[in-house]
Each structure stands twice: as C-alpha cells, then as structure tokens.
Amino acid sequence: MSNTPMASKTDGHAATANRSGSFVAPTMASFAAAAGTADWTHSANMAPSMLNTNRAPNWPIVSATYILIPKNPGDADRAAAVLKFYDWAFKSGAADGVTNSNYITLPASVQAQVRKFVGHG
C-alpha cells in the first residue's frame, strides 16, 4: 500500500488521485475528459466503464445516465415523442442548460452514434 495521500484539498473540493497518478478536482471538465476517453464504440450496449480511466485530467468516478425505451412500446406515439425530445436535447441541450443542470454533454461522436442507433442520425 502506498503512502501517497488518496485525497488532498484544493479550492474547497477534494482532489482525488486518478489512475495516472494525477490529483484531479471534481469539475465539469474532468468529468467530460473521462467521458471523452471511454471506448463507446466497442463497449456492449454503448455502456463503457468510465471508472478510473488512464488520463491525467480525468475524474476517476464517472458514470453515464441512460434512458431506456422499449423496442415494442405499448404507446408508440409516446415513445416517439420521448425519442424526439432526446434528439432535440442532443442537438440543442448544451445551449439550453444541460450543463447548468450539472450534467455534461456526451462527446459529439457518441451523440452521433446514439442518434444513428435510434434512427435519428
């Protein structure tokens, strides 16, 4: 076991050591860096692990939030409206407050993959 401290305090936030050995503060930029490093293309169901990815700026504890829509929904019109809303969110959400809600936007390449997967790309 290393005697390296696991956390230090900077600007009122805990800075945590990540896999690369860097101490990183929990910021939107460090969360986005972890999401940008994840292998979205080759992971099952586009659900890559973003835990402790190996880049200096990455916050080590990041996870995606998923929306589940049945392939054969009971109310097809309602499911279509939900998909339309999320398509709008991918195209316009960052400008309309996604980041103000403490969420990060997915990398543009991942958004394109999702839109193609659900038939909007």
The answer for residues whose C-beta is within 8 angstroms of residue 92's C-beta and 6 or more apart is none
| Amino acid 97: pLDDT | 58
| Amino acid 103: pLDDT | 79
Q: How many CB atoms lie within 10 A of CB 6?
A: 10
Max intra-chain CA distance, the chain: 58
| Amino acid 113: pLDDT | 86
| Amino acid 4: pLDDT | 38
| Amino acid 96: pLDDT | 58
> Strand, coil or helix: what is 100?
helix
Helix orientation angle between 108-117 and 76-92, rounded to the nearest 10 degrees? 160
Q: How many CB atoms lie within 10 A of CB 106?
A: 22
Global confidence as pTM: 0.75
The series of mean pLDDT values per 10 residues for the chain, 121 residues long, is 41 83 91 91 89 92 88 93 86 65 81 81 62
Q: How far is residue 111's CA from residue 39's CA, in Å, rounded to a whole number? A: 13
Please answer whether residues 7 and 74 qualify as being in contact, where contact means their C-beta atoms are separated by less than 8 angstroms.
no
| Amino acid 98: pLDDT | 63
